[in-house]
Structure 1
Amino acid sequence: MAASSTRRVYSWACFDFANSAFGTLVLTFIYNTYFMNGIAPSESEGTTLWGNTVAIASLVIALLSPALGAAADAFGWKKRFMWVTVTLACLATAGLYFPQAGDVWPALLLFGLALVATELSIVFNNAFLPEIAPREKHGKVSNQAFALGYFGGLICLFIAMAGFVNGEDNAAWFGLDKDVFQHVRATNVLVAIWFAVFSLPLLLWVKEVKPPQRSDGFLVVARKSFRRIAETFRHLREYRELFWMLVARMFYNDGLVAIFSFGGIYATVEFGFTFQDLMIFGIALNVCSGLGSLLFSFIEDRIGSRITIVISLLALVGATVAALFIESKNAFWGCAIVIGLFLGPNQSASRAYLSRLTPLEKSNEFFGFFAFSGKATAFLGPLLYGQMVGIFDSQRAGMVVIPVLMTVGMILFLWKTHPKPEKNTSTP
């Protein structure tokens, strides 16, 4: 039983190892920079278009998550939906190999589809957490999964750096032509293969808990899901800590989404990072993020998820504010390392905090709203960042958005939540 449970936990965590390659190579460090420099007409226009695409994709995710999540719960379709979304994500990501200079809209369409499919697969994956680990271990399991994910992104970056983006004078694997950026575009194929292979442990070995058979059709369940969001929102107001935690998270999560979307672009434009620099930058950031998540997997359950969230937000706000004013590449490296150390703990602690505050009999309802709330306003950070860059023609103007959103979230979290309920709701 213990061995079976352990295999389920690590098979579930392996999905973070799989999908992190997309976030690391496509969303943050390689493809976004290639789009801006190699496909878009200009850096400023490329940044705005990229931000708008992330914003639209986030809205699509927010609209689809409730209906698909409700159907997955009602019919026991989490695994079925994961097969579909992972397949779509891999195909669209591999398709990013083909757009070249001037192919703006094909590139954005494929990227948007890959982003939507990847994020939806993560929503379904998160829904497995209550099934694969007891509540008192959610913090540890969640942090270790995030740590494994960051190391997955790190290893994929190592492969990309060694075989593809490996300096101007070195030949790329498979005879790829660097003059037309085949070596950069081929990293998308690497990500697609990586995502497909390491998703298999979850897809093959983790069985979901099947609900009772339902006579309602999918459209009926979809309509009911949106009504349930309204009902859940009304119920949440009865649970003050949960309600304000989710409101606060909407703001600081928008800042995190903007970091993932524009971190590589900011480093390239403001500090002259090359593709090879971005590889080293991504490796360092993933090492720090993995170490941060691993460290907090041992201490979060002791100090509490609420304190972990506050500590991580203080560090993230301080580092992003500093990144606004620094001029040297070395100083930027210091800010990036701090950001890396606290990204994973913040995300994991938010997931674990909800699991500890949620009454057991309402866990599915509130976890569904947690997934929805995380995407409902996720367009705001990328949209504001892209618009600020378009207006002021400055990446630093866009960067202002990130610490502002996280500060608003932190103030709401400190003002409206309190530590006591976290200890009192682990049992129904």
Structure 2
Amino acid sequence: MGKPATDPNAVPAVRPAAGRSGSLGLAAWCLYDWANSAFPTVITTFIFAAYFTQAVAATPVEGTILWSRALTVAGLIIAAGSPLLGAVADCWGPRKPWLLVFSGLSISLTGLLWFVKPESDFVMLALIVYTTATVTYHFAIVFYDAMLPTITPPDALGRISGWGWAIGYAGGLVCLVICLWIVKDNGVAAFGLDAAQAEPVRATAIFVAAWFIVFSLPLFVFTPDRPATGLSLAEASRQGLRQLPRTLQLVRGNPAILRFLLAHMAYTDGLVTLFAFGGIFAAAEFGMKPEDILVFGIILNVAAGAGAAAFAWIDDAIGSRRTIMLALAGLIVSGCGLVLTRDEWGFWALAVLLGIFVGPAQAAGRSMMARLSPPGIETEMFGLYALAGKATAFAGPFCLGVTVQLTGSQRAGLASVVVFLAIGLLLMVTVKEPDRAETASSRKT
């Protein structure tokens, strides 16, 4: 088993790897997806974001602007910090301590959102707490994702990643349904919450925090972790700082990794924009009401979860690269259909089809990164993966906004999103995926 490199110019040696996990450990790892998906579903997308813009901010327009700025600031911090944290963690060894710290911070901050009352005096508190919770949430994801290649056999990476995504979609939706029940009059009747102070809505933050705690615990108990390298945290930090530039050089010299990260950057911009503006498009073009858009979002998530689960086997059968390409092709076809259709039933059918392909594009992206990551620096590679997903996250919404402004057409704006997906697909064509024997050989310790 290799020891950490001490020569500052040396290529990082292979570090101690976690043992392959049994079924219980893998199930516990997937359950973390169920646990953490409550945050983006309830807090970022459906309930707390709407509460902030409608009840906390001075006006809905101001609230939307401030919320988008909070997301932008969080994205920049995540992009800058993820690779560095990954480099330090790889030099130190275990990932679960980092995962525990950042999960705990995100959970605690989520619970603090309870104190955001429906008054403009609480705008700054809401923005600071939410932004910090989002940053720590995504830092935790880096360490979580990096565990995948060290606990999973190479021939099962697609299934485990896909099942994790599918379980995550399901967990987010189950939590959302319960939170909607709390928000309605049931929260007032069952728990004596004060609707005038928006306590049923604020209580969902506490529920999400509790949900996150309960369902993330099995991972820390049952899923194996890499052993420590023997370095102190201070020394690991110094080595990590020295290692990051070398890893960036490694990526530049590895066409497969570099092109995949660029492809991931492009198609993730498209996916993020689809989720952010899909409801706006539905309301503008088909006159959907808020309750209809909520149903639309739920159906889209159900379809994405089903797609992630179904394509998990396909990933392992034909490879992550081809699975991503198939998913992107499906997204492009369904996206073009949405641009052209004028029929509401056609819109619903195409939206479901689009959702089915969203799940595997995300899940296979994670398994592809796991297959490409050199042993010993997986966390750092997933930090770069997070960087690629955040670095240009503004580009999709920006292009959509400019297109709509220039053309006055929501459909033209949606068409601009398809361009990002097409760029991602073209870049994926040039990526070479390691074969199974090569991946399995590199993971032996």
Q: State TM-score, norm by structure 2.
A: 0.81
My pick for the range that moved more, 72-81 or 84-93, is 72-81
Taking the aligned partners of 2:178 and 2:352, their CA distance within structure 1 comes to 21
Q: Distance in 1 between matches of 2:407 and 2:108?
A: 36
1:140 aligns with 2:159: yes
Name the counterpart of 1:250. 265
Deviation of 1:423 after TM superposition, in Å, equals 5.5
Residues 1:333 and 1:46: Cα distance change in structure 2 (over 3 Å): farther
Aligned amino acid, residue 299 of structure 1: I
2:83–2:382 Cα contact (<8 Å) kept:
no
Deviations 1:224-271 (A, max 9, x none): 435433322322233322221111111111222334445456556766
Contact 1:237 1:243 in 2 (8 A): yes
CA displacement 1:249-296 (0-9 Å, x = unmatched):
111112223344454565567666566445533432232122111111
**Equivalent of residue 340 in structure 1, options 348, 355, 370:** 355
Show the counterpart of 1:70. Answer: 87
Matched, 1:356 2:352: no
Question: Normalising by the residue count of structure 1, what TM-score does the alignment of the two structures yield?
Answer: 0.84
**1:413 is matched with which residue?**
428
Amino acid at match of 2:438: T
Q: Specify the alignment match of 1:163 in structure 2.
A: 182
Instruction: Return the alpha-carbon distance in structure 1 between the equivalents of residues 280 and 419 of structure 2.
Output: 19
Give the unaligned 5+ runs of structure 2: 1-18
Question: Residue 29 of structure 1: CA displacement?
Answer: 2.2
Change (3 A) 1:317 1:92: farther
Task: Say which SS state the counterpart of residue 37 (structure 2) adopts.
Answer: helix
Q: Tell me, yes or no, if structure 1 residue 403 matches structure 2 residue 418.
A: yes
Letter in 1 for 2:26: V
- Counterpart in the other structure of 1:196: 213
Aligned residue in 1 for 2:55: 38
Instruction: Give the number of the structure whose alpha-carbon radius of gyration is greater.
Output: 2
User: Which deviates more, 257-266 or 287-296?
Assistant: 257-266
State the identity as a percent: 38
C-alpha change, 1:224 and 1:251, in structure 2 (3 Å) is farther
Gaps of 5+ in 1: none
Match of 1:308 in 2: 323
Q: Give deviations 1:283-329, integer Å, cap 9, x for gaps.
A: 32232122111111122211222221112112223444554566666
* Secondary structure at the counterpart of residue 96 of structure 1: helix
Quick one: structure 1 residues 401 and 260, their matched pair in 2 at CA, closer, same or farther if it must change by over 3 Å? Answer: same
CA contact (8 A) 1:28 1:264 kept: no
Note the 1:277-288 alignment, pairs <5 A.
277-288=292-303
Letter matched to residue 320 of structure 2: S
Q: Which amino acid aligns with 2:151?
A: I
Post-superposition offset of 1:331: 4.6
Instruction: Indicate the residue corresponding to 2:118 in structure 1.
Output: 100
* Distance verdict in 2 for CA 1:161–1:278, change over 3 Å: farther
- Structure 1: how far apart are the matches of 2:144 and 2:348? 33
How far does residue 200 in structure 1 lie from its aligned partner after superposition? 0.7
Tell me which residue corresponds to 1:115: 134
Q: Is the 8 A contact 1:59 1:379 kept in 2?
A: no
The CA RMSD over aligned residues, in Å, is 3.4
Q: Tell me, in whole angstroms, the C-alpha distance in 1 between the residues paired with 2:155 and 2:263.
A: 24
1:209 aligns to what SS in structure 2? coil
